[in-house]
Amino acid sequence: MNTQPGIYGRKLGMSQFFTDDGTVHRVSVVEAGPVTVVAKRTIEKDGYTALVLGLGERKAKHTSKPLAGYFKKQGQTPKRVLKELRCQPEFASKYEVGQVMKLDEIFQLGQRVDARGTTRGRGFTGVIRRWSFAGAVTTHGTHEYKRHGGSIGTNMTPGRTLPNLKMPGHYGDETVSILNIRVARIDVEKHLLMLEGGLPGARNGLVLIRQSVKKTKPRTHVAPTKKKLK
Amino acid sequence: MVTSPKLAEFESSQLRTGQPVFRVGDTVRVHYKIVEGDKERVQVFQGVVIKRHRAGARSTFTVRKISFNIGVERIFLMHSPRIEKLEVVSRGVVRRARLFYLRDLQGKAARVRDQKDA
């Protein structure tokens, strides 16, 4: 199980910024916070370690009575998003209930992180969009057969359509992780986390940012060799 | 597209002020810093502005010039710190926002009327 330190946030959109030497960084901006620790799960009590995180404020009129009772018990104001984050005991011990998580405590500049989000739902989609099929030829007598997927199998052997064949269907609204993206900038006060490149999902979509699970190989720089002209 | 106010606030911090006002059709000289290895030098690119992409901090402009009979276009980031200096050489009179028609023209036809002559 992924127990890397992380935080929940909302994708604000994409932007760019310049560094002092003039390099442009194209970034996705995530508003990760203020995220409050609402409760803690411990091995002794719950059998696993996790932090219960709350993101954004929820209005009292939008809070059901059982939920309001839970927040009252924890001594917190109702939160819009309530999520559990499985983590290592060392990470959980750094936080107390009611504490607001600070981005620079979790991430460092230039660090590789993983982002998990839900892609935009596209509804029932044909094979051209969903699986990048080429479609059929539109000339040479083709009639009412343009964006179809073509044949779905043979006749007698095996006499059935094989499983997992690419066909039209529901596309999008899936959980997608993007691994090893670089942290380009951290704004602790405004709770902004800037990650290089794109993130799954629409604007205001919920994303989970965690320290990367896979180790990146240290890049060994190979100097370009000049070929001698004969 | 609706930009979030928090994003707009961040982008406004990236804006660069003090650049001269210019429009599509104007001839500009862009003094652009180029880093080669550890050396840095300034290259001047002079040509007609054929496109301006106005998008806040992400704004760009495209400059076209004819270099040794070959049309060269360069897209500059409006707020890039690599632009050392931006000079407006002359103001042009044009009727459209995108001067892509210049790509199909050659020689005398591929000129933009100067405001002084108009």
pLDDT, one tens digit per residue, over A179-193 is 999 999 998 888 999
Return the residue in B1, B9, B10, B34 with the most chain A beta carbons within 10 A, the one to mutate for interface testing.
Answer: B10
Q: Report, as an integer, the average pLDDT of A135-157.
A: 90
Evaluate whether B96 touches B32 at the Cβ level (below 8 Å).
no
Q: Give the pLDDT score at A224.
A: 66
* Cβ contact, residue pair B80, A16, below 8 Å: no
| Model confidence pLDDT, tens digit, residues A57-77 | 888 889 899 989 998 988 888
pLDDT digits (tens, 9 = 90+) for B44-64: 999 999 999 998 888 999 999
- Residues A53, A55, A58: CA angle, nearest 5 degrees: 120
**Angle subtended at Cα A154 by Cα A153 and Cα A156, rounded to the nearest 5 degrees:** 140
Q: Is B33 on the interface with A (CB under 8 A)?
A: yes
pLDDT score, position A119: 95
Confidence of residue B2 (pLDDT cuts 50, 70, 90): low
Which of A9, A107, A117 minimizes the C-alpha distance to A54? A9
Shortest Cα distance, chain A CAs vs residue B4, angstroms: 6
* Other CB atoms within 10 Å distance of the CB of residue A197: 14
Per-residue pLDDT reduced to its tens digit, B15-46: 888 889 999 999 999 999 988 888 889 999 99
Q: How far is A18 from chain B (nearest CA, A)?
A: 7
Q: Which of A16, A19, A28 to mutate to test the interface with B (most CBs of B within 10 A)?
A: A16
Predicted pLDDT at A230: 54
Q: Read off the pLDDT band of A228 (50, 70, 90).
A: low
Residue that has been written with the tokens 């060994």 in this structure = A220
SS (H, E, C) B5-37: HHHHHHHHCCCCCCCCCCCCCCEEEEEEEEEEC
Say if residue A125's pLDDT is above 90: yes
* Among chain A residues, CA nearest to B3: A13
Phi and psi, residue B40, nearest 5°: -130, 135
Q: Residue B55's pLDDT is what?
A: 87
Instruction: State both tokens at B103.
Output: 């790509």
Cβ separation of B80 and A24 shorter than 8 Å?
A: yes
- For A29-62, write each residue's pLDDT tens digit: 999 878 999 888 888 999 999 999 999 888 888 9
Helix (H, G, I), strand (E, B) or coil at A99: coil
- The token duo for A89 is 């005991």
Q: Which residues pair with B52 in a beta bridge?
A: B61
> Rounded to an integer, what distance in angstroms lies between the CA atom of residue A106 and that of residue A193?
11
Within 8 A by CB and 6+ apart from B17, the residues are none
Q: Cβ of B14 under 8 Å from any chain A Cβ?
A: yes
B-chain residues within 8 Å CB-CB of A20? 81
Contact B14 A12 (CB under 8 A): no
Instruction: Name the band, by pLDDT with cuts 50, 70 and 90, for residue A229.
Output: low
Q: What is the largest CA-CA distance in chain A?
A: 83
Contact B85, B46 (CB under 8 A): no
Q: Average pLDDT, whole number, for chain A?
A: 89
Inter-chain touch A12–B82, beta carbons under 8 Å: no
What is the band of B3 on the pLDDT scale with cuts at 50, 70, 90? confident
pLDDT at A226: 64
Helix (H) or strand (E) holding A91: helix A89-93
**A220: pLDDT confidence band, cut at 50, 70 and 90?**
low
The length of chain A, given as a count of residues? 230
From the list B7, B33, B80, the residue facing A12 with the nearest CB is B7
Which candidate from A13, A22, A187 shows the least CB-CB separation from B81?
A22
Q: Which residues of B touch A190 (CB under 8 A)?
A: 6
Q: Band the pLDDT of B88: cuts 50, 70, 90.
A: very high
Q: Report the C-alpha gap between B90 and B68 in whole angstroms.
A: 22
Distance from CA of A24 to the nearest CA of B (A): 8
Which helix (H) or strand (E) is A82 found in, with range?
A: strand A79-86
Q: Residue A92's pLDDT band (boundaries 50, 70, 90)?
A: confident
Domains of chain A and CATH, by start: 6-121+172-211 (2.40.30.10), 125-167 (no CATH)
Residue A162: pLDDT over 90: yes
Cβ pair B7:A17 closer than 8 A: no
